[in-house]
Amino acid sequence: MSILCSICRLVKKKVQPPVSFILNDVQGYNMKAAIFFGSKSDSDTMKKAADVLKEFGVDYKAYILSAHRAGELLKKTVAQVEKEGCEVIIAGAGLSAALPGVIASETVLPVIGVPLECINPGKSNGLGGMDALLSIVQMPSQIPVATVGIGNAKNAAYLAVQILAIKYPELQKKLADFRKKLADDAAANGGMGVEL
């Protein structure tokens, strides 16, 4: 009887794969995000979002696609990233920044918009990012875009990581460690009291 029990236990162990195996192999995808932005001139700012995703080990793809200049290709690409298992989208644009809103209209994935300050010698310099901020944040009801501060691509990525962490426990752990380090650094840098 006890030998039989031991065999049962072993078989049970074998058919119970570890959580990471279930997430990565059986369901067929890893954590995925997509980054869209409207112009090559936005690259330096949007790269900061990519850096945060890398830091947290989130897979992502990035696309330069203007909602105004390449609308059809944008729609196709949004459909494509959805098919590939993308779970959250970051979208940045400057000037009259339709990109995040247009993407939000094409998908039910959460879209995080980054209003960009446009400094483009020889072309329109925009309004310090206020133009993009209002374009992105003032979405009509039913089609929301979660909007971060002007140029704050990093925060878009932190929010994307937090959204993904609802599903991925390993990200929850990384976020908890990250927040603890922030608090520890604050304590070490005057948070415990300073002499003035």
Residues that bind ligand AIR (CB under 6 A): 37-39, 41-42, 66-69, 93-97, 116, 118, 120, 123
Q: Which tokens sit at 118?
A: 């446009």
Q: Which tokens sit at 83?
A: 């098919």
Which of 67, 112 has the CB closer to ligand AIR?
A: 67
Please count the other Cβ atoms lying within 10 Å of the Cβ belonging to residue 64: 15
Which of 76, 181 has the CB closer to ligand AIR?
A: 76
C-alpha 63/C-alpha 91 separation (Å) is: 9
11 Cβ contact list (under 8 Å, min separation 6): none
Which of 52, 116 has the CB closer to ligand AIR?
A: 116
Q: Which helix (H) or strand (E) holds 78?
A: helix 71-83
Q: How far is the CB of 98 from ligand AIR (least distance, A)?
A: 6
3-class secondary structure, 123: coil
Q: How far is the CB of 168 from ligand AIR (least distance, A)?
A: 30
Q: How far is the CB of 120 from ligand AIR (least distance, A)?
A: 5
Q: How far is the CB of 142 from ligand AIR (least distance, A)?
A: 23
Which of 94, 168 has the CB closer to ligand AIR?
A: 94
Q: How far is the CB of 97 from ligand AIR (least distance, A)?
A: 5
8, 103, 124, 152 from 134: Cα distances, Å: 62, 16, 17, 15
Which of 9, 76 has the CB closer to ligand AIR?
A: 76
